[in-house]
Structure 1
């Protein structure tokens, strides 16, 4: 019998392989500080920063075009995937050189809260993908202040 994996919020329990993939991504992100391990020679650098409005994710995708990249949002998981194709052909006196390289990538990033896709935006400029996700009202930062004063508790 296969062990049961925890099911992330809002996901059907029938997607065992999807759940396994997300958990493996989460473990690698924790172990390697968000670095991607190359699936086939290409691992884009990804950075996530929190702002007052929400979260901004940037991914460096040199050599790619907007049509080569896909962005998806499902609950609190943002997925960036794509394929890099590079072809080089050179003809000189007496020889013909042709090189091709292909590499695909997929990064799944767990957000601090589920985001609304209708309030998300993405832009691609000069090989840099920037995704902005608005913080939902229920995820507003709450500060619980602890009063300071008096004598320390005995113990």
Structure 2
């Protein structure tokens, strides 16, 4: 029976078996760990991005976009519409390192993300730019973009004699 099975769990004699799923899991963990370390130790002045949760819903009146921006000052948020593209920019600022060191603060866990956020939405229809509303309440940015109402003009039909 030993000769019927070409490989055993040990594989080729002299080599040990490597589980491909365990190897893939290790590689993913290493990649995520190195990525998180890179974000934690971003050089001074270098931009780091954070990605808040966005919800966009459409109805007959228009489009409503809600962005969760906890800890962001409303003055650090900008919303622009240009050529049918809505751009949302925000920045969550971190305390200066010098302030932390003076107080003798030691972080045991630091999972909050800081930096710049930018998201663009291409509108599928023409918006009424003068009626766009934006509000910021309890860390949630809410933008309502109404559809442009086309004025229905009476079309004069020419009568041929």
SS in 1 for 2:65: strand
State the shift of 1:75 in Å: 2.6
Q: Is residue 107 of structure 1 aligned with residue 119 of structure 2?
A: yes
| 2:145 aligned partner | 133
| 1:44 aligned partner | 52
| Higher-Rg member (1/2) | 2
Higher helix fraction: Structure 1 or Structure 2?
2
Q: TM-score, normalised by structure 1?
A: 0.55
State the shift of 1:103 in Å: 0.4
**Gapped regions of structure 1 (runs ≥ 5):** 1-37, 139-155
- How many residue pairs align between the two structures? 99
Give the RMSD, CA atoms, in angstroms.
3.0
SS in 2 for 1:118: helix
**Gapped regions of structure 2 (runs ≥ 5):** 1-38, 40-46, 108-112, 151-161
Does the Cα contact within 8 Å between 1:87 and 1:98 map onto a contact in 2?
no
Higher strand fraction: Structure 1 or Structure 2?
1
Counterparts of 1:75 and 1:114, CA distance in 2 = 9
Does the Cα contact within 8 Å between 1:58 and 1:131 map onto a contact in 2?
yes
State the shift of 1:108 in Å: 0.5
State the shift of 1:122 in Å: 0.2
State the shift of 1:110 in Å: 1.1
Q: Deviations over 1:4-33 (max 9, x none)?
A: xxxxxxxxxxxxxxxxxxxxxxxxxxxxxx
Residues 96 and 134 (structure 1), Cα distance of their counterparts in 2 relative to 1, 3 Å cut: same
Counterparts of 2:139 and 2:94, CA distance in 1 = 14
Counterparts of 1:98 and 1:114, CA distance in 2 = 51
Does the Cα contact within 8 Å between 2:128 and 2:149 map onto a contact in 1?
no
SS in 2 for 1:62: coil
